[in-house]
Structure 1
Amino acid sequence: MKKKYLALALAASLVVSTLAGCGSKGNTTESPAAPAETTAESSADTSAEESTTADAGSAAHGPSSEAAPAWEEYNARIAAIRTETDLAKREALMHEAEDELMSTWAVIPLYYYNDVYLQKTDVDGIYANLFGFKYFGYATTPTNTLALQIASEPNKLDPALNSTVDGACLAILAFSGLFMYDENGQLVPDLAESYEMTEDGLSYTFTMKDGLKWSDGTELNAKDVEYSWQRLANPDTGADYAYLTTVIATKDDGTLDIEASEDGKTFSVNLVAPCAYFLDLCAFPAFYPVPQASVEGADGYADNPGAWCTEAGFVSSGPMVCTGWKHNESMTYEKNPNYYDADRVTLDKIEFMLSSDDTAIYNAFVDGSLQFADTIATDMMATVKDTPEFHKIPTLGTYYCGFNVNSDLFAGKTVEQAAAMRKAMCLLIDRQYIVDTIAQAEQEVANTFIPTGMSDGNGGEFRKNDGDYTYPLEDKVGYYDTDMTDANMEEVQALLESAGYQFDESGMLSAETPISMTYLTNDSEGNVKIGEAIQQDLAAIGINVTVETREWSVFLDERKQGQFDFAREGWLADYNDPINMLEMWETDSGNNDMQFGR
């Protein structure tokens, strides 16, 4: 008998005991052309009221600690993964962490991402990696200009503060890191000329390229890297990705154990434990250096660390600089003459259309106003899929939706009852319908959070059964059967009955025990349609779901603050290791939208 780890087994037994003791009865996707985000996701990615007792209505989103799962053991397990040097033990710990996460049923995976987009045939040189980063700086066009769309109004352009895929693409265009990804998806030096690693894997020393400059012509060196990494880790910055710095050792004063040489030529880093993905972090936008003088000299800096780059003209270091920004309408980037590799950049200008209107974006692509569109209107997918302008590439990520564990939706419930409610609703969602009719890019239906193809950090693939671990649903390698069956409906009813709900003779929730909640999504077409599909699926037993839409930046803020019951989510990995999809759920993580441990 293969081993299933303790966290899931305990959770399963708790649900079973609840079922035995209580007998009363009590669909976001990417618009086919838009994948989700390395950081969180993009605005176009598509490729939550009241308590569930008698009164229906809109939830106040106060704490519901009795129903929220305890999270101290999860936090401790993630900390252990970061320092574990035995790769087999590390992999086992990551399986345990995924088991514990999935046993809450707060994270509901729908499908694994494909990245689909439209690109004119006379455009070349645009490339992307598995994590959703798109590199536009080396594109070529007949006129040396490029008109494109990747999202609506960006939420944040400060590399340390951004947590969206579209924001990452803009950061890559305007800034540089120690490393970057090339057109083959391989890590190559960027601002760094070379690096050395000690034999134990605990220390790195980077040598910077000569003659580096910021876009305003001032010197860029290793001291800028040191400042920016310390800034990323500093809680006062409020960076969602600050937790990525926990692989770096700290000094006695609590700052990162990093140092730039006096002449700014070298940069040294000491790690807590060997980290196989450390160079990936060096290529991740959150670690890009930013100009201290601009950051700290901006009006409003004390209250808004990202105030320095909220308008065009900010100092940067990448292939292009932002020279124009009409908010909610357009952005203009022009070639940066002070970029160290400026000779490789042939584009003079990139014009960004800022929009979430999939139909308008498609029409602009058809009439030639756009040469690249990262969003494809759902109704047009069948038309474009067989054209030379349609592109589909693999990515490493999961489109999902999630429950706020502190929502009043679960008020008065035990931890086990709240988990049973969430599992019941998970089983009602017809994922194949979402893939076939909305996303339409042949995505793989998901029944685990960590996606197909992700490495296990030990020479294999994480999402596979082996001699040490068997997924709870062995034949489909996941946590539940995604097929809609009569048996599923029976399980749904039993789960909700265990949480105190009653059903009438027609199999619908009784008027005495209704469930009413909101589903929060941004306003792009594909994501809204997924919300409406989920709304219809849950209505099959009388659950009332109101789909609420928000403009992109408002949506991100409300979701981050836990101002929802149920929300659309998406995550493209930042690097190819399961820890990236697990550490985001730590209590203090800025990406812990489900509010675990809070």
Structure 2
Amino acid sequence: MKKKYLALVLAACMTASLAACGSTAADTSAPAATTEEAADTAAAESTEAADTAAATGEHGPSSEAAPAWEDYDARIAAIRSETDLVKREALMHEAEDELMNTWAVVPLYYYNDSYLQKTDVENIYSNLFGFKYFGFAKTPTNTLDLQIASEPDKLDPALNSTVDGACLAILNFSGLFAYDENGQLVPELADSYEMSEDGMTYTFTMKDGLKWSDGEALDANDVLYSWNRLADENTAADYSYLCSVFATKDDGTLDIEASEDGKTFTAHLNAPCAYFLDLCAFPAFYPVPQQAVEAADGADTNPGAWALEAGFVGSGPFVLTEWKHNESMTYEPNPNYWAADKVSLTKINFMLSSDDTAIYNAFQDGSLQFADTIPTDMMATVKDTPEYHKIPTLGTYYCGFNVNSELFAGKTVEEAAAMREAFTLLIDRQYIVDAIAQANQEVANTFIPTGMSDGNGGEFRANDDAYTYPDEENVGYFNPTDMEGNTEKAIELLKSAGYEFDESGMLSANTPINMTYLTNDSEGNVKIGEAIQQDFAMIGINVTVETREWSVFLNERKDGQFDFAREGWLADYNDPINMLEMWETTSGNNDMQFGR
């Protein structure tokens, strides 16, 4: 929720993009596949796709240096179908090993969420996945002025892939389930649900009298339409791959159904899914109004055309009544919200900005009551004040290499991986945490973060009898604190990839390395890029830091228009598969371009 990840300064909460696009669900007209069968099938499909790409020339400029990805895709398919939790965990460790051994994904630290909130503001809450709930906040004036990011990329919940967009979706829409102030799942549009004994079928009973903000009835048929829309390749939703949990019908649509009276909604899964109710609370699965979606000008070419300006129909506690692009958004209560009596605010005003200093000044002078961005040079000042809040989140701030970048032109797969490993080892993560992020984040040397469940009653990022990380003492793939040893190893790795160094350990002018680092333009993210630039310069590597406005950055990164880029991922639910399936070849969150 690859699947903005938030356009926030790293020093604040540095929440990051969520999101990806889709795998198709298995056909349940045949018996359930075993793990091996699923792996074989996925591998065959991946090989066929690779053969097609080879025949049509659909490869990046340096695809000979990119890692083969058929086995990874097959392993993800096997994880989805595996019902033995011990075997499933083992497969997920294998997937993370394969991902990390490409050295294209470069974890820097595990997230904390830091923000500023006035002491007279109450009942704003969040969860481990970076979602913030503003709809039930209480203030002395019954208005709330806040900042969470700059101009949002997309407000259609099915198309959004950012944390700030998710926070806005939560304000504007409702799901079958939601998270309460304690981070627990509770029914929202659903009144209750039943799960079959085998865990493969969920039946939801909808609340009575549900309405859209325009007064039209909202029922199970809206859920049916919206979930099939999310899965439809024509919608081009980054998160469509989440629909892989469902069985499918003969016509390829999801095996879901609504009763004739719209009172009940039933979903059939292709395997038991422990996090299915979490999906029901995830914004991509929020119902959207079919009539409004399909009647919008430009809907044929832009599925999100209906939600590009204020006034669109929703189902949440608030509706967007005014949108001054790149400046502000105003939300007012939705009188047709099912729990409208719990809303006390009369207006919520969002400041749209990535100017950390301006945001901080607005908070200091009282223009803002909540700020999700804190300037790096003010962190030490605010950390001991009652307005400063730090809460745990489940995610990883990282950066990554486009495996098809010209940076790796002429290299073998092994040489390109050695280059990326060298670059990974050169980054001083502790400096980034201490001098830039400044919220006591834990430096990272695995992609899946500390605290994430293994899906079998334990923590995934831990050594145990079944699995030991390669760097046993530091529980990861390398020691992020041994900068002297890491630098020496990095030079040797680059030598193995054909680069020359002089006696002082500086890269020879005969074999230069030049690359760009792409980031959005908020202060903390730019400073991290500059820190990496300095780390690489220590041995003569030239890095140019390029900044983009948030929405431009998101699209360039998604399209693979970069060498090296800033990334971040806050989990959408507490299971490692969420951070592994985003790297499938077909995923909309596969920014590193694996398999392409």
Structure 2 length normalisation: TM-score? Answer: 0.92
Structure 2 counterpart of 1:212: 210
- Which residue type is aligned with residue 208 of structure 2? D
Alignment of 1:50-89 (within 5 A): 62-89=60-87
Structure 2 counterpart of 1:334: 332
Q: State the shift of 1:484 in Å.
A: 3.5
How many percent of aligned residue pairs carry the same amino acid? 80
Q: Is structure 2 residue 156 aligned with structure 1 residue 135?
A: no
Q: State the shift of 1:33 in Å.
A: 1.3
Alignment of 1:308-327 (within 5 A): 308-327=306-325
Greater shift, 505-514 or 128-137, is seen at 505-514
For the residues of structure 2 that align with 1:202 and 1:40, how far apart are their CA atoms? 25
Structure 2 counterpart of 1:268: 266
Give the one of 437, 450, 470 matched to 1:472. Answer: 470
After the TM superposition, list the runs of 4 or more consecutive aligned residues in structure 1 that deviate by more than 3 angstroms.
none
For the residues of structure 2 that align with 1:29 and 1:233, how far apart are their CA atoms? 30
Q: State the shift of 1:30 in Å.
A: 4.4
Q: Is structure 2 residue 447 aligned with structure 1 residue 449?
A: yes
Counterpart of 2:144 in 1: which secondary structure? strand
- Which residue type is aligned with residue 164 of structure 1? T
For the residues of structure 2 that align with 1:100 and 1:147, how far apart are their CA atoms? 45
- Which residue type is aligned with residue 391 of structure 1? H
- Which residue type is aligned with residue 39 of structure 1? L
Give the one of 89, 110, 131 matched to 1:91. Answer: 89
Deviations 1:556-580 (A, max 9, x none): 0000000000000000000000000
Structure 2 counterpart of 1:549: 547
Alignment of 1:117-516 (within 5 A): 117-516=115-514
For the residues of structure 2 that align with 1:158 and 1:430, how far apart are their CA atoms? 38
Counterpart of 1:280 in 2: which secondary structure? helix
For the residues of structure 1 that align with 2:585 and 2:321, how far apart are their CA atoms? 39
- Which residue type is aligned with residue 183 of structure 1? E
Q: State the shift of 1:486 in Å.
A: 2.8
What RMSD over aligned residues (CA atoms) do the two structures have, in Å? 1.1
Q: Is the 8 A contact 1:74 1:100 kept in 2?
A: yes
Structure 2 counterpart of 1:3: none
Deviations 1:235-278 (A, max 9, x none): 00000000000000001111100000111000000000000000
For the residues of structure 1 that align with 2:19 and 2:379, how far apart are their CA atoms? 24
For the residues of structure 1 that align with 2:247 and 2:238, how far apart are their CA atoms? 19
- Which residue type is aligned with residue 138 of structure 1? F
Q: Is structure 2 residue 12 aligned with structure 1 residue 33?
A: yes
For the residues of structure 1 that align with 2:17 and 2:273, how far apart are their CA atoms? 20
- Which residue type is aligned with residue 141 of structure 1? T
Counterpart of 1:155 in 2: which secondary structure? coil
Give the one of 578, 589, 592 matched to 2:590. Answer: 592
Structure 1 counterpart of 2:574: 576
Deviations 1:73-118 (A, max 9, x none): 0000000000100000000000000000000000000000000000
Q: State the shift of 1:489 in Å.
A: 2.0
Q: State the shift of 1:381 in Å.
A: 0.4
Q: Tell me how many residue pairs correspond in the alignment.
A: 552
For the residues of structure 2 that align with 1:486 and 1:119, how far apart are their CA atoms? 41
Counterpart of 1:118 in 2: which secondary structure? strand
Q: State the shift of 1:429 in Å.
A: 0.2
Counterpart of 2:320 in 1: which secondary structure? strand
Q: Is the 8 A contact 1:404 1:595 kept in 2?
A: yes
For the residues of structure 1 that align with 2:170 and 2:102, how far apart are their CA atoms? 36
Counterpart of 1:559 in 2: which secondary structure? helix
Counterpart of 1:466 in 2: which secondary structure? coil
Q: Is the 8 A contact 1:178 1:191 kept in 2?
A: yes
Deviations 1:30-77 (A, max 9, x none): 432123136259xxxxxxxxxxxxxxxxxxx94311100000000000
Counterpart of 1:512 in 2: which secondary structure? coil
For the residues of structure 1 that align with 2:343 and 2:454, how far apart are their CA atoms? 37
Deviations 1:279-329 (A, max 9, x none): 000000000000000100000101100000010000000000000000000
Counterpart of 1:237 in 2: which secondary structure? coil
Counterpart of 1:236 in 2: which secondary structure? coil
Q: State the shift of 1:216 in Å.
A: 0.2
Q: State the shift of 1:183 in Å.
A: 0.3
Q: Is the 8 A contact 2:8 2:372 kept in 1?
A: no
- Which residue type is aligned with residue 414 of structure 2? E
For the residues of structure 2 that align with 1:107 and 1:32, how far apart are their CA atoms? 21
Give the one of 113, 131, 155 matched to 1:115. Answer: 113
Deviations 1:418-469 (A, max 9, x none): 0000000100000000000000000000000000000000000000111110
- Which residue type is aligned with residue 79 of structure 1? A
Q: Is the 8 A contact 1:112 1:397 kept in 2?
A: yes
For the residues of structure 2 that align with 1:303 and 1:520, how far apart are their CA atoms? 29
Counterpart of 1:150 in 2: which secondary structure? strand
For the residues of structure 1 that align with 2:167 and 2:443, how far apart are their CA atoms? 26
- Which residue type is aligned with residue 165 of structure 2? G
Q: Is the 8 A contact 2:16 2:397 kept in 1?
A: no
For the residues of structure 1 that align with 2:197 and 2:510, how far apart are their CA atoms? 67
Q: Is the 8 A contact 1:38 1:573 kept in 2?
A: no
- Which residue type is aligned with residue 483 of structure 2? T
Q: Is the 8 A contact 2:13 2:111 kept in 1?
A: no
For the residues of structure 1 that align with 2:483 and 2:333, how far apart are their CA atoms? 56
Counterpart of 2:314 in 1: which secondary structure? coil
- Which residue type is aligned with residue 299 of structure 1? D
- Which residue type is aligned with residue 66 of structure 1? E
For the residues of structure 2 that align with 1:69 and 1:543, how far apart are their CA atoms? 23
Counterpart of 2:394 in 1: which secondary structure? strand
Structure 2 counterpart of 1:25: none
For the residues of structure 2 that align with 1:484 and 1:149, how far apart are their CA atoms? 38
Counterpart of 1:324 in 2: which secondary structure? strand
Q: State the shift of 1:29 in Å.
A: 8.9
For the residues of structure 2 that align with 1:32 and 1:142, how far apart are their CA atoms? 29
- For structure 2, list consecutive stretches of 5 or more residues without a partner in the other structure: 1-6, 21-58
For the residues of structure 2 that align with 1:82 and 1:492, how far apart are their CA atoms? 36
Higher relative contact order (CA 8 A, sep 6+): 1
Structure 2 counterpart of 1:48: none
- Which residue type is aligned with residue 324 of structure 2? K
Structure 1 length normalisation: TM-score? Answer: 0.91
Q: Is the 8 A contact 1:29 1:434 kept in 2?
A: no
